[in-house]
Amino acid sequence: MQATAYTYDPETRTGQVLLDDGTPVPFDAPAFDRGGLRLLRPGQRVRIEVEGGAGEDTARRITLITLQTF
């Protein structure tokens, strides 16, 4: 799934992305670390992997965030 980086705190390595429909989804440090990134700037296109949400009883959670490559 693709999204756009919205916020990022380099001290905690957490932030939010915006899905293409404008929905903000937070990510935690483990999801950021799994992607191997060192920095994330607002506006960058990213690829995310999520679990939960969409009809499930759990909230949507990002498990991996990395830069979108073509």
For residue range 26-70, list pLDDT tens digits in order. 999 999 999 999 999 999 999 999 988 666 556 788 999 999 876
CA atoms within 13 A on the CB side of 4: 9
Residues 13-38 have pLDDT tens digits of 999 999 999 999 999 999 999 999 99
Residues near 55 by beta carbon (within 8 Å), at least 6 away in sequence: none
User: What is the dihedral sign for C-alpha 44, 46, 52, 55?
Assistant: positive
